């Protein structure tokens, strides 16, 4: 019988436990795949010092398991960051932010020594951009940023009724075939009013654990 997407997410979450370094602080992503990882981490919570969460939702889930969550400003080292993605190419450049947590995710990934991305096989794509690229924007800059994105060839759509954990809005950019992820990540960062864009190319994942019908495949 074919595995479901959730079964593949669970398998990669279990595989990611191998990357947990005992006695250290673990960075925790956001989303349904990251939730599976949190639940697996709970089983070995006595072996880690604690966690830093990339969203309020993940922090709440961690705390519900009795796992310590530190403020990033009180932490200087994170051994590994484990998170899902909306898309990955074979270079482990990612699109993230489907859950709107991209800014805190990028910050925690930047601090971590190693970024382990966990995803089911549907997330591996030849080119990034089919999944609308999320961009977190300061609310007053929303229209200006949208006009600048149109100049870059994208079609920005405001994520209705959504406010990020940082009090900002999200523009989801459609119709972009992203051939040069690093270049586009920098171009988007240069638009005044953009807080973060969902391209993780300048700091890609170090390892991609991909859940497939034939088991977990590791790419790096």
Catalytic (active-site) positions: 105
Q: Which of 19, 27, 89, 99 binds ligand 5RP (CB under 6 A)?
A: 99
Minimal distance, residue 6 CB to ligand 5RP, in Å? 10
Gap between the Cα atoms of 38 and 41, Å rounded: 5
Residue 132 within binding range of ligand 5RP, rule CB under 6 A = no
Minimal distance, residue 105 CB to ligand 5RP, in Å? 6
Token pair belonging to 89: 């190419």
Residue 31 within binding range of ligand 5RP, rule CB under 6 A = yes
Which residues contact residue 52 at a Cβ distance below 8 angstroms, ignoring those fewer than 6 apart?
A: 25, 26, 27, 28, 69, 70, 71, 72, 75, 78, 108, 111
Token pair belonging to 77: 């080292």
Residue 29 within binding range of ligand 5RP, rule CB under 6 A = yes
209 exposed, middle or buried (CB, 10 Å; 0-12, 13-18, 19+)? buried
Binding segment (CB under 6 A) for ligand 5RP, from list 65-73, 82-90, 171-179, 180-188: 82-90
Residue 170 within binding range of ligand 5RP, rule CB under 6 A = no
Query: How many CB atoms are closer than 10 A to CB 123?
Result: 20
Q: Which of 97, 132, 154, 211 binds ligand 5RP (CB under 6 A)?
A: 97
Binding segment (CB under 6 A) for ligand 5RP, from list 59-67, 99-107, 203-211, 212-220: 99-107
Minimal distance, residue 74 CB to ligand 5RP, in Å? 23
Gap between the Cα atoms of 178 and 53, Å rounded: 29
Gap between the Cα atoms of 155 and 177, Å rounded: 12
Please count the residues of this chain forming the interface with ligand 5RP, following the rule CB under 6 A. Answer: 17
Which of 49, 130 has the CB closer to ligand 5RP?
Answer: 130
139 exposed, middle or buried (CB, 10 Å; 0-12, 13-18, 19+)? exposed
Which of 49, 203 has the CB closer to ligand 5RP?
Answer: 203
Gap between the Cα atoms of 34 and 53, Å rounded: 10
Which residues contact residue 125 at a Cβ distance below 8 angstroms, ignoring those fewer than 6 apart?
A: 87, 88, 89
Binding segment (CB under 6 A) for ligand 5RP, from list 15-23, 79-87, 155-163, 175-183: 79-87
Q: Which of 28, 79, 86, 170 binds ligand 5RP (CB under 6 A)?
A: 86
Report the interface residues with ligand 5RP, using CB under 6 A: 29-33, 83-86, 96-102, 105
């Amino acid at each position: 019988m074919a595995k479901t997407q959730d079964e593949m997410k669970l398998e990669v979450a279990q595989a990611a436990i191998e990357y947990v370094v005992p006695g250290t602080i673990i960075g925790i992503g956001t989303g349904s795949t990251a939730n599976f990882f949190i639940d697996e981490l709970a089983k070995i919570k006595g072996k880690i010092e604690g966690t830093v969460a990339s969203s309020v939702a993940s922090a709440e889930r961690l705390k519900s398991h009795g796992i310590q969550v530190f403020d990033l400003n009180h932490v200087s080292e994170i051994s590994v960051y484990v998170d899902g993605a909306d898309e990955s190419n074979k270079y482990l450049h990612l699109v993230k932010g489907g859950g709107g947590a991209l800014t805190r995710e990028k910050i925690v990934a930047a601090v971590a020594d190693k970024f382990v991305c966990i995803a089911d096989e549907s997330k591996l794509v030849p080119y990034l951009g089919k999944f609308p690229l999320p961009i977190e924007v300061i609310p007053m800059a929303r229209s200006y940023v949208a006009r600048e994105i149109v100049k870059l060839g994208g079609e920005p759509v405001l994520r209705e009724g959504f406010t990020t954990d940082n009090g900002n809005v999200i523009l989801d950019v459609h119709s972009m075939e992203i051939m040069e992820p690093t270049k586009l990540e920098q171009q988007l960062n240069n638009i005044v009013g953009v807080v973060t864009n969902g391209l993780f190319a300048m700091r890609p994942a170090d390892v991609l654990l991909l859940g497939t019908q034939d088991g977990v495949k590791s790419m790096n």
